[in-house]
């Protein structure tokens, strides 16, 4: 079976955790604001239509798309090797990305563990 770079990226803990956080925020915002919900619902329907069209057999994968996916998978292999932080959930990585008081408490060995 062919690897899919988008599926691999979505399986990275830092990406899946971040998406989960955004999904919770998106859902709570829609619940709290009916006008925003109506706009979001219209957008979601449009995206569903576009994604079903893109996945239909007459618009299936072409050789350049397959080659680009393979190249992207090799690039992702390299990133995963060079940036171990991709394998950690966002809450473990965020103190390194957004310096604060918590950042100053991080030891050098923890930085090395995450590859930052």
* Residues 25-69 pLDDT 10s: 999 999 999 999 999 999 999 988 887 776 655 555 567 778 888
pLDDT score of 103 more than 50: no
Residue 60 and residue 66: Cα distance in Å, rounded?
Answer: 11
pLDDT in tens, 71-87: 999 999 999 999 998 99
CA dihedral for 74, 78, 83, 85, sign (positive or negative): positive
- Token pair, residue 13, equals 């803990």
Taking a C-beta distance cutoff of 8 angstroms, is the pair 85, 96 a contact?
yes
Q: Is the model's pLDDT at 1 over the cut of 60? A: no
Give the per-residue pLDDT at 50: 84
Query: 103 to each of 24, 33, 56, 85, how far by Cα in Å?
Result: 26, 35, 48, 15
Predicted pLDDT of residue 54 = 65
Q: Which residue has the higher pLDDT, 106 or 52?
A: 52
1 or 11, higher pLDDT: 11
């Amino acid at each position: 079976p062919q690897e899919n770079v988008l599926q691999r990226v979505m399986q990275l803990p830092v990406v899946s955790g971040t998406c989960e956080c955004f999904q919770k925020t998106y859902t709570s915002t829609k619940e709290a604001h009916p006008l925003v919900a109506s706009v979001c619902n219209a957008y979601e329907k449009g995206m569903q239509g576009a994604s079903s069209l893109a996945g239909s057999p007459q618009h299936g994968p072409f050789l350049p798309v397959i080659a680009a996916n393979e190249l992207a998978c090799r690039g992702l292999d390299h990133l995963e090797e060079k940036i171990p932080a991709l394998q950690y959930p966002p809450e473990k990585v965020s103190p390194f990305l957004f310096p604060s008081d918590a950042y100053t408490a991080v030891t050098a060995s923890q930085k090395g563990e995450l590859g930052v």
